[in-house]
Amino acid sequence: MTTELIRFGIPSSIIRCPVPAKVTGKTELLVSCSCGAQATLQVASIVRTIKRVGHYRCIACGMREKHKDPAYRAKHSAGVRSSWTQERLRKQSEISKGLWEDDSFRASVSSKSTEAWSDPDRRAAASEFISVKWDDPEYRRHCEEARSTPEAVDASRQRARDMWSDPEYQEKQARAKSSDGHRQLQSDLARARWANPEYRSAVTDSVLELWDDPALREEMSDRVLSLWKDPEYLAKQARVSVDPDLCRLKSENAKRQWQNPETREKIVRSLANILKDGKDSILERVTQTILGALDVPFIRHHVIGYWEFDLFIPSHNILVECNGEYWHSLRKSQDSSKFTYIDEYFPQYKILYLWERDFLNPGLIQQKLSKAMALEDDSPVIRDFDFSDVSIRKMDLTVKVQKSFYSVAEEFLQSYHYAGFGRSARAVYGAFLGEELVGVCKFAPPVRAEAATSMGLTQSQVLELDRFCIHPLYHKKNFASWMLARCQRLAFSDFPAASTLISFADSTFGHFGTIYKAANWTKLHDVRPDYHYLSPDGFVVHKKTLYDHASRNSRSESDYAESFGYVKVFGKSKVKFCFYRPK
């Protein structure tokens, strides 16, 4: 038998079956490749392969060897691309659709794929194969071009939508992803990839490159905003946030990661850098402004362990949390964990919680901060200055403060005016001492048409002085009337159609029109009293402020007031003042 094989030049080491006494070119033998693949071939076929490459190899090994040659890869790639005409693509697509409609075919492919992917050697080979292809600049360029065209992007998104709209597909994905085997496999794969420095570097570079594109950032921002406006998505997030299995899994993962000192240090450092450069909510900005007025140093976004706190007051070891009502109602377990962590490991720190409803009157925020710091006297020390050093400028509300979502004027009124910024403005004027804003005067259209028609005027002829506020550190005698006189001149200059300015002094809030009289405004008449609210702490809250806040939380005014102990109280009368355009 060996003599017969020698006659044909076939080594006996590759034969895996008995060899007949008489061997011809058509004799079939079971042969084995060095890769382990076996096949039954005719002697003539085996001989041709040996003569061509000097040894026997299977078709798969032959293709791998060929594709190591750049010239062959380029030629092969060009040939394949040219062969896939539109007609062939259409026909193949129809064939594939027909196959995938067969349940047995889908089950067979799924079973084979699962079996193949569970083999580490097969996964490694597939990974190596893709890596080799991806090292080819031409292949990479072709893939990127194919994916980046608007048509390709739309088609890909539509395919994804179609798949995820299928309840059977959703159930299958949920079942697969919820299995312990799947999670463990994905976890192992992710760890293996992330252990490769080149992979980490490539991912980081890719993300940085993407986020350098302003158009992409804008698109992502719009997507996120649209998602959080979707009631169904909000409900889903609320369900997920309290899912006990998910919470347990997240807790276990976090604990396991936190046990690694290197990971712990990296997370803290990264979190601190991100938060330092990030934007603050209006609640945080108002608190910062009030602390500044009290001359109390603070640190933004202070990280302790793996928790972040909105503000830290080092002089009193106070951690300040500014809690928006909606989001923190979904994260009660996280807030509880934060408190437990500080209480157990950092007992020297005290946590002060400021809730969104507390900000309906900034005076309450100042009171809570002063009480927490045990300040005996929180009344500001009035600073002296010359009126001649103050300039009055029109303010641009579209220009936002650095690290904030709001303009300077919006933050100022939210911090110091009992009714906040209020409705949309026609014009806002600021009093600046150097570059420091010390006062704001805001004009808006009349809130009611009769405010103008009762005077025989149209709404376009009237501007209402909607907000007037002086910084608490700059309440110098006569400064308010001095500033008002200059702002009213600017208003008439900027709005030629306006002939009259109006405003209302509400004695409920201690306003009796003193500055209007000093600025030569005319008293018209008294306005019947209206209601306001008293907070449980005794602070006055404007009815419109509470109504707007309740609406933002999808609640009625009366329901919100009852839930948090706000009492409706009818106040004292208002006085209407006006100022006519000088002739």
CA dist 445 and 574 (Å) reads: 19
Fold of 387-580: Aminopeptidase (3.40.630)
For the stretch 394-427, pLDDT in tens is: 999 988 888 777 899 998 998 888 778 888 899 9
- The answer to whether the CB of 406 falls within 8 A of the CB of 285 is yes
pLDDT at 271 (0 to 100): 60
Q: Give the mean model confidence (pLDDT) for residues 236-254.
A: 79
The DSSP element (H or E) to which 163 belongs, if any, is: helix 150-164
Please state which CATH number belongs to domain 269-372: 3.40.960.10
Residue 479: pLDDT band by 50, 70, 90 thresholds? very high
Residue 441: pLDDT band by 50, 70, 90 thresholds? very high
CA dist 323 and 553 (Å) reads: 13
0.75 surpassed by pTM: no
Reduce the DSSP state of residue 18 to 3 states and report it: coil
Q: Is the pLDDT of residue 391 over 70?
A: yes
pLDDT at 325 (0 to 100): 66
The DSSP element (H or E) to which 11 belongs, if any, is: none
Q: Is the pLDDT of residue 333 over 60?
A: no
Separation in Å, CA 372 to CA 324, 335, 358, 464:
20, 19, 15, 39
Looking at 36-102, list the stretches that DSSP marks H as alpha helix, in order from N- to C-terminal side. Answer: 43-53, 59-66, 70-83, 86-100
Q: What percent of the chain has pLDDT over 70?
A: 94
pLDDT at 270 (0 to 100): 62
- β-partners of residue 318 are 313, 350
- The answer to whether the CB of 561 falls within 8 A of the CB of 487 is no
pLDDT at 329 (0 to 100): 53
Looking at the chain, the domain(s) classified CATH 3.40.630.30 span 387-580
CA dist 570 and 532 (Å) reads: 6
pLDDT at 277 (0 to 100): 58
Q: Which residues contact 103 (CB under 8 A, 6 or more apart)?
A: none
Q: Is the pLDDT of residue 361 over 70?
A: yes
pLDDT at 377 (0 to 100): 66
Q: Nearest 5°: phi and psi at 301?
A: 45, 65
Closest of 360, 370, 268 to residue 309, by C-alpha: 268
Cα within 13 Å of Cα(271), Cβ side: 17
Looking at the chain, the domain(s) classified CATH 3.40.960.10 span 269-372
pLDDT at 169 (0 to 100): 81
**Strand pairing of 307-313 and 299-304?**
antiparallel
Q: Is the pLDDT of residue 495 over 90?
A: yes
Q: What is the DSSP letter of 281?
A: P
For the stretch 60-70, pLDDT in tens is: 888 888 888 88
CA dist 408 and 437 (Å) reads: 8
pLDDT at 107 (0 to 100): 83
Cα within 13 Å of Cα(461), Cβ side: 14
